[in-house]
Structure 1
């Protein structure tokens, strides 16, 4: 058994030795090499420029080396769409494969390799991923002699990033001479390159002492192509106009166009707005256009200053002034599409068209009238042929101006502007335009638009100031209108609900400067809901004081006034004025002074004075359903129409064809100078005076009975009436009194039933002045309906 074991072991060893010394299999083997340019690992690396770079490739080369680094195969293909190579190797073994894609000038677009690949018998497939070759950024910094002599460089930084990146790569530069160059190998893409520099003056007399463009660096956007050099120059020059350094970014002419140039490049210079408007044609899709200014340096070398880029076929260069036009040599555009470049298409400066756009209008002014809700604008005419104008508005809710009207041939316009828009208006603007274009807008802020005091007119008898709302009504009280003898006219009913009312005009020792002196025509309209409550104030009503004034054709409704004294719905006081066809309805008048009250439904105190050429006239006026109160002093001087009529004149005052209905409230049964129509008519004890009182009536009740001083028509112990006074009436049922006044012949008392019969009022003019609904109502004035 042991002998058999050793024999078997020897045979096994011989078999192993024989197998180890056997020669390898020889003979050709098949190989296919695929160049993969779209793998998941390379798409990100190539970015979107892949197609553009491929179109520039002339041939793709394959080199195969064996394990001893000997080249055993070189081949090529022009297939750029799906590059691959099929061939045979003499033997199986270990090989390395190298790929290069080259342009016609022998520069490379991409490379790839697979090393130490084991090739066996049968069919072999090798996949090589292509990688783009880095390009070179060559950045030059040139500092001109003036800057170099005046400043030391404190710091300098070159920064660059891909357009699709967010982070900048920074490279600090050491600048020890007027020219510095730095190179960077960069993976192909579109890059933005910028340069920052900080300078310190060499002596204390140099201004500015410190200068930097760190917050606003010069920059340029350029493509970095595989295996190519891109030159960028940053020039630090001295700007003699600004008296300070300046950095400009320039790049050399592009010499390798791959894509079609733009066509029909035009430039139009709007010298008014300082804009250069570029436009062009281009048939390729998804192109980006890079705009440059062509310049010449002192050595007459051409260089290009980057302006900006766009994907549109138009671009506007702003701040294009005359000095900028003088500086440039032309305008150039480089088209980049599918990462192919066209090269610069240059438009010479002589080919730039200058527009004769009109100047912007000057002296724009505006006024707004809030009754008619119209805005009127005026401006100076702009010279030139075929000039027209446009008007714009901007509300707080608008992002920009909105065109209101164009094709305007005059220098003034009135446009509709509703109150809602006026309240939200920020500004308006006017521009001039012709066939060449539109000027800049001349803007007018709302704060500089005047709010018209009135709805129209000039204040004359023929053209009175027109009043359409409460604000315009209150404007009568302005110093330029109050006592200047101007004419005013209502053009609408006015509701004063919610308005804090200030009476128009007041008392002073010189009424010509403080009272209303003018003509007010109510034009048949109403003023409603006057509200006033301040017991420290006197001379209160729609007007505070009328002096040498005229008020006509007006109805006041629902007035509610409480003040100290001199209170009436129309006016607290009136002197030497004419009040005609003015009525008060459904109103409450209250004077709370602890002395004379002077309160009436129409006017608190009336004064006729021989110091004026005018006298005091009240005609065809009424106070209907009024409540007149003087609760705090027995000598009240309170009446349904007037508190007092003071005849302080040799000439007479007049009150005729007037009436009052309602209630007079007084303090007690001993109160005096209280009457249905007038509380008191008195005269100057020295100069005398009298009042004509004719064709008037009262149907006014007292607030209490038993007062012997209460009179149904006129209160007071005497009435200085003229001899032609009379034919007046009062309602005895309503007054609760048979005595009308201290003068029995001045008026006649009648019961309510007779007061509602036309026959009672013999001699009254029921054709032109009065009308009556017999049996149902008292006589009323025709004009009030």
Structure 2
């Protein structure tokens, strides 16, 4: 029997200015750099595809700095590295950038130790951002909470240099305490999030609160987005939203509060607990809002999103209230040119709990809490399933509504619950569909849901257990 090394090692000596003594959060990023998620995963006997185009990130918490010096050992998979950047932030939120010129490209060999020292200089959060945001390949790379807050502040202050840009999350981010969402619906839309945000399949963790008192606003990691795309992002945080509103609209979602004007939320999930005392709440998106537009109608799409957490609306006001496993509410205004709303490849697992406390005008749906839409051929929900637990005065496994509302539901599966229909309007449900007293869809249901996704040329499909995956 023989054993081969599968990892390589860095012995990194960091020199900080002014004899710093502190604890810092260290971040390394670059092409081909493989983070701890790969190191801790045994796949193909530990082999790793050394594709230098992979943009990776390694974050190390609580690195002790004494008299301006710190030493760090890093184990990682061998790969060809390029464009490596090292940054750090100390306890006082001071940023440091380390000069790795001449050392930022290398081909690492398994079993070897690479020792080198680098010297840091005081930097700014802006300077610590890698990329220029002009396209996907040069997306702004966000590795720390402070960088995320910086980007949020630029957008919320209408800095046009951050409008319509590409962003990439490079690591999990923990948020605790109070949080101000990214994108706010004031000043004629100049402060909405209008970019492309790729979560990189990372997660938001922690426990945070949002205090939101504005009408037509959103609350969540993102507040209100417009002509935007949010994708590949998971929420594991517990979120509490409090509002003094007694009328008007407030959308609450773990990922996005409100989407406007043809936005897309794709491959996002929630496993945390989300609670609000007012509004329209969903596990992933609070409200999808579409309206009359001039010219060609746009498509709003929520795809491959799922919920296995708790969604709880405690509101008891006289206004309409809703809670949805994935989406809280879809609102469509009247007009001749209307956006199209597509909900597909979404699901709520048997772990999902969707609760609307109020006894009147309260809706609870496994996928969508409710809609008041009366326009034809606007809302399409297909290739979705739900096994969520529900509570509300109007309940439906897929979408709840009044009897006069319009939408199309097809190619769905739902867990059998006495007295709970797939959707509130039976005429809106089209074949094929099925239900059973199980926690996951049948093989037949998965087949027809995947056929519907394939016909729509979706990039996603369900696996044998009903989990959504990329093709």
TM (norm. structure 2) is: 0.64
Q: Residue 750 of structure 1 corresponds to which residue in structure 2?
A: 435
**CA deviation string 1:532-588 (max 9, x = no partner):** 153646521010001110111222223323233321001111112443433223222
Q: Residue 27 of structure 2 corresponds to which residue in structure 1?
A: 371
**Aligned counterpart for 2:239 among listed residues 560, 577, 581:** 560
Q: Residue 104 of structure 2 corresponds to which residue in structure 1?
A: none
In the TM superposition, structure 1's runs of 4+ consecutive aligned residues that sit over 6 Å from their partners are: 421-429
Question: Judging changes above 3 Å, is the alpha-carbon distance between structure 1 residues 744 and 633 closer, same or farther for their aligned structure 2 residues?
Answer: farther
**CA deviation string 1:140-168 (max 9, x = no partner):** xxxxxxxxxxxxxxxxxxxxxxxxxxxxx
Question: Judging changes above 3 Å, is the alpha-carbon distance between structure 1 residues 460 and 771 closer, same or farther for their aligned structure 2 residues?
Answer: same
Alpha-carbon distance in structure 2 between the residues aligned to 1:714 and 1:415: 47
Q: Residue 451 of structure 1 corresponds to which residue in structure 2?
A: 125
**CA deviation string 1:605-640 (max 9, x = no partner):** 111234276431111111223323243236212211
Give SS of 1:726's match.
Answer: strand
Alpha-carbon distance in structure 1 between the residues aligned to 2:463 and 2:372: 32
Q: Residue 517 of structure 1 corresponds to which residue in structure 2?
A: 194
Is 1:502 equivalent to 2:180 in the alignment?
yes
Aligned residues: 351
Q: Which moved more, 1:738-747 or 1:712-721?
A: 738-747
Alpha-carbon distance in structure 2 between the residues aligned to 1:481 and 1:728: 42
Alpha-carbon distance in structure 2 between the residues aligned to 1:753 and 1:530: 32
Q: Residue 77 of structure 2 corresponds to which residue in structure 1?
A: none
Q: Residue 534 of structure 1 corresponds to which residue in structure 2?
A: 211
Question: Judging changes above 3 Å, is the alpha-carbon distance between structure 1 residues 703 and 684 closer, same or farther for their aligned structure 2 residues?
Answer: closer
Alpha-carbon distance in structure 2 between the residues aligned to 1:428 and 1:713: 52
Give SS of 2:269's match.
Answer: strand
How far apart are residue 599 of structure 1 and its match?
Answer: 0.9
Alpha-carbon distance in structure 2 between the residues aligned to 1:672 and 1:445: 56
Alpha-carbon distance in structure 1 between the residues aligned to 2:442 and 2:232: 27
**CA deviation string 1:392-423 (max 9, x = no partner):** xxx9947xxxxxxxxxxxxxx99856545997
Q: Residue 650 of structure 1 corresponds to which residue in structure 2?
A: 338
Give SS of 1:471's match.
Answer: helix
Contact 1:396 1:426 in 2 (8 A): no
Contact 1:727 1:746 in 2 (8 A): no
**CA deviation string 1:304-331 (max 9, x = no partner):** xxxxxxxxxxxxxxxxxxxxxxxxxxxx
Question: Judging changes above 3 Å, is the alpha-carbon distance between structure 1 residues 567 and 425 closer, same or farther for their aligned structure 2 residues?
Answer: closer
Is 1:623 equivalent to 2:288 in the alignment?
no
Contact 2:284 2:326 in 1 (8 A): yes
Give SS of 2:147's match.
Answer: helix
Contact 1:601 1:628 in 2 (8 A): no
How far apart are residue 746 of structure 1 and its match?
Answer: 2.0
Alpha-carbon distance in structure 2 between the residues aligned to 1:680 and 1:533: 23
Alpha-carbon distance in structure 2 between the residues aligned to 1:659 and 1:754: 12
Contact 1:631 1:665 in 2 (8 A): no
Alpha-carbon distance in structure 1 between the residues aligned to 2:239 and 2:467: 23
**CA deviation string 1:490-534 (max 9, x = no partner):** 1222222x35422101112612x0210111011222222251153
Is 1:781 equivalent to 2:468 in the alignment?
yes
Contact 1:582 1:621 in 2 (8 A): yes
How far apart are residue 647 of structure 1 and its match?
Answer: 3.0
Question: Judging changes above 3 Å, is the alpha-carbon distance between structure 1 residues 516 and 590 closer, same or farther for their aligned structure 2 residues?
Answer: same
Contact 2:210 2:219 in 1 (8 A): no
Give SS of 1:765's match.
Answer: helix
**CA deviation string 1:633-688 (max 9, x = no partner):** 36212211111112335242211111123122223443433322112223377xx7
Alpha-carbon distance in structure 2 between the residues aligned to 1:494 and 1:754: 31
Contact 1:719 1:743 in 2 (8 A): no
Question: Judging changes above 3 Å, is the alpha-carbon distance between structure 1 residues 533 and 369 closer, same or farther for their aligned structure 2 residues?
Answer: closer
Q: Residue 420 of structure 2 corresponds to which residue in structure 1?
A: 737
Within 5 Å, which residues of 2 pair with 1:276-425? 371-372=27-28, 397=67, 418-419=88-89
Give SS of 2:396's match.
Answer: coil
Contact 1:756 1:772 in 2 (8 A): no
**Aligned counterpart for 2:355 among listed residues 665, 686, 691:** 665
Contact 2:125 2:150 in 1 (8 A): no
Alpha-carbon distance in structure 2 between the residues aligned to 1:738 and 1:484: 43
**Aligned counterpart for 1:769 among listed residues 454, 460, 463:** 460
Alpha-carbon distance in structure 2 between the residues aligned to 1:629 and 1:420: 39
Give SS of 1:371's match.
Answer: strand
Larger radius of gyration: 1
